[in-house]
């Protein structure tokens, strides 16, 4: 059976990505990261998702927190949704470079042909490491910087969500019966999603446009929020 590494954060996108890899018939090797993020609830979600799918090959990597982001530095507040095109303070320096580097190494160890990552270039928060240019550059690096690459068997980075809207991602997740009720998207990491940070608002807008009720709990009145989206 063909094998794939799946970057699994516990969020909506990465869980949908996992469901796509499974639907394509891959034996999956999910990999998650504890990088000092304030929203550690997502790691609890990861454990539940892995249990839901009865996956035995999950790996959790611990990385020192280098700070520099509202997601990793408690002195920087997570802002409410602003809808600007500027790179926000929730950007984590080089996060996907680091995550994909670990994933490439793990792929060589388990002889995986692909790495699935839930990056999205449409409904995203302006992060430079979610763009197609970044993925293309990283694939070129894999070809020249790994044993598989120089031997003509480069590892493919699969980005099934790259050009989908959030509503389309949600519909795909439901088609694949992905457990979105076990996911979280909130940057603030409370017991209930805040409903006002960038990630929460993009998620809520996606569910509204998809015509589907979001199965997770929020600390705000979601129906009231829908009227402002």
Residue 124 has pLDDT above 70, yes or no: no
13 is in an annotated binding site: yes
pLDDT in the model for residue 123:
67
Q: Please name which of 157, 104, 155 lies closest in space to residue 131, comparing C-alpha atoms.
A: 157
> According to DSSP H, which parts of 146-217 are helical?
147-150, 166-175, 198-210
For residues 197 and 181, give the distance between their C-alpha atoms in angstroms, rounded to a whole number. 19
- pTM (global) more than 0.85: yes
12 is in an annotated binding site: yes
32 is in an annotated binding site: no
25 is in an annotated binding site: no
197 is in an annotated binding site: yes
11 is in an annotated binding site: yes
What's the Cα-to-Cα distance from 32 to each of 5, 42, 227, rounded to whole Å? 10, 10, 35
pLDDT tens readout for residues 128-177: 888 999 999 999 999 999 999 999 999 999 999 999 999 999 999 999 99
17 is in an annotated binding site: yes
Q: From start to end of 8-149, where are the E strands?
A: 27-34, 59-62, 114-116
Residue 105 pLDDT grade (very low, low, confident, very high; cuts 50, 70, 90): very high
15 is in an annotated binding site: yes
69 is in an annotated binding site: no
- Which secondary structure element, helix H or strand E, spans residue 6, and what is its range? strand 3-7
Domains along the chain with CATH numbers: 3-226 (3.40.50.620)
186 is in an annotated binding site: yes
pLDDT in the model for residue 8:
98
Ramachandran assignment for 83, one of left (phi > 0), alpha (psi -120 to 50 degrees), beta (any other)? left
Question: Quick one: CA torsion of 196, 201, 203, 209, rounded to 10 degrees?
Answer: 140
Q: Tell me the pairing of strands 3-7 and 114-116.
A: parallel
194 is in an annotated binding site: yes
10 is in an annotated binding site: yes
pLDDT in the model for residue 125:
63
Burial 176-215 (b: 16+ CB within 10 A, else e): bebbbebbbbbbbbeeebbbbbbbbbbbbbbbbbbeeebe
């Amino acid at each position: 059976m063909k094998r794939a590494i799946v970057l699994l954060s516990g969020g909506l996108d990465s869980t949908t990505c996992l469901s796509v890899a499974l639907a394509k018939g891959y034996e999956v090797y999910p990999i998650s990261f504890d990088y000092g993020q304030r929203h550690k609830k997502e790691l609890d979600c990861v454990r539940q998702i892995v249990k839901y799918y009865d996956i035995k090959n999950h790996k959790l990597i611990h990385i020192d927190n280098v700070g520099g982001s509202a997601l990793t530095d408690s002195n920087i507040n997570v802002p409410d949704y602003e809808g600007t095109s500027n790179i926000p303070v929730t950007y984590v320096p080089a996060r996907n470079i680091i995550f994909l580097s670990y994933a490439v190494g793990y792929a060589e160890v388990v002889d995986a042909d692909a790495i699935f990552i839930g990056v999205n270039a449409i409904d995203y928060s302006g992060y430079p490491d979610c763009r197609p240019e970044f993925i293309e550059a990283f694939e070129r690096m894999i070809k020249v910087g790994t044993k598989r690459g120089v031997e003509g068997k480069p590892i493919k980075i699969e980005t099934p969500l790259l050009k989908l809207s959030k509503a389309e991602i949600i519909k795909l997740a439901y088609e694949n019966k992905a457990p979105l009720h076990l996911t979280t998207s909130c940057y603030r990491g409370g017991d209930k999603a805040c409903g006002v940070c960038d990630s929460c608002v993009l998620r809520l807008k996606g569910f509204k446009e998809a015509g589907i009720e979001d199965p997770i709990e929020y600390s705000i009145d979601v129906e009231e929020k829908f009227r402002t989206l």
